[in-house]
């Protein structure tokens, strides 16, 4: 494997699941940037409940209370620090293979390792690069699983997924961004759903990068 390379595609992997947290940070940033700094300075230095704005007039009820400002400043810095730490950790875990497949290890397995030519049993979720669901062996509502057996042979499954699974250990889980050239280059490659609707949905997006999240259950 090559050292990690970072690009728009790797950020797709690293930012999934962090949207609510980013919204919280954005809310605090809005308060910070829209607060009159001169008012803030006076309010911190002037005792009592009466503050003045930069023109010397009495502040309106819309100004932020001193106590609230003092509570928000350290919290805002903490949120920024935590967000940076989370983003850095996620990006470091993402690696790019020579083929162009980007892999992120979510869980390191401890069982038998999968090798080329093996048959493996897996659960997977397939999504478009924008996060929209395409197909899965795990029911989104009941959680019921329907694992599939795949041969680690690029003549039978898409090459990108084969590269993702090789080297995994039983119990492990990986998320990968697979470019179209290593995906469904023809409609005979698996895994592909049997149902007409999911099958049509998958084949209509074969010219896009696809995200696969795979859990290795068994090496047969």
Q: Helix (H, G, I), strand (E, B), or coil: what is residue 75?
A: helix
Spatial separation of the C-alpha atoms in residues 190 and 213, rounded to whole Å: 15
Under the banding of pLDDT at 50, 70 and 90, the label for residue 157 is very high
Tokens at 104, concatenated: 């992120």
Interhelix angle 37-45/66-92, nearest 10 degrees: 120
Q: Give the three-class secondary structure for 11.
A: helix
pLDDT digits (tens, 9 = 90+) for 185-200: 998 999 999 889 889 9
Assessment of whether the complete model's pTM goes beyond 0.85: no
Rounded to 5°, angle at Cα 192 from 155 and 16 = 105
What mean pLDDT do residues 135-141 have?
92
The pLDDT tens digits for 7-24 are 555 555 554 444 444 544
Q: What is the mean pLDDT of the chain?
A: 75
Mean pLDDT value of segment 31-40: 44
- For residue 215, CA distances in Å to 164, 182, 209, 210 come to 11, 20, 20, 16
For residues 171 and 216, the answer to whether their CB atoms sit within 8 Å is yes
- The stretch 68-77 carries a mean pLDDT of 51
Model confidence band, residue 72 (pLDDT cutoffs 50, 70, 90) = low
pLDDT mean over 93-119? 94
Q: Is 189 helix (H, G, I), strand (E, B) or coil?
A: coil
CA proximity to 103, closest of 147, 161, 159, 149: 161
* Nearest residue to 93 via CA among 104, 85, 82, 107: 104
pLDDT in tens, 1-11: 444 444 555 55
- Can you give the length of the chain in residues? 220
How many Cβ atoms from other residues are within 10 Å of residue 73's Cβ? 14
Average pLDDT (114-122) is 98
pLDDT of 52 above 80? no
For residue 38, what pLDDT is reported? 43
């Amino acid at each position: 494997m090559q050292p990690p390379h970072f690009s728009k595609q790797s950020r797709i992997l690293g930012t999934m699941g962090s949207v609510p947290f980013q919204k919280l940070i954005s809310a605090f940033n809005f308060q910070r940037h829209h607060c009159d700094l001169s008012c803030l300075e006076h309010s911190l230095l002037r005792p009592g409940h009466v503050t003045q704005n930069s023109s010397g007039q009495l502040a309106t009820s819309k100004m932020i209370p001193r106590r609230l400002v003092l509570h928000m400043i350290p919290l805002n810095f903490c949120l920024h620090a935590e967000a940076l730490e989370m983003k850095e950790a996620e990006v470091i875990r993402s690696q790019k293979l020579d083929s162009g497949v980007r892999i992120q290890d979510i869980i390191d397995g401890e069982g038998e390792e999968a090798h080329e030519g093996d048959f493996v049993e897996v659960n997977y979720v397939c999504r478009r690069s924008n996060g929209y669901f395409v197909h899965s062996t795990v029911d989104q509502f009941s959680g019921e699983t329907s694992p599939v057996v795949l041969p680690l042979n690029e003549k039978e499954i898409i090459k990108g997924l084969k590269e993702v699974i090789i080297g995994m250990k039983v119990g492990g889980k990986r998320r990968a961004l697979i470019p179209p050239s290593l995906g469904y280059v023809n409609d005979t490659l698996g895994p592909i759903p049997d149902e007409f609707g999911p099958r049509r949905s998958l084949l209509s997006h074969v010219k896009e990068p696809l995200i696969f999240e795979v859990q290795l259950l068994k090496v047969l």
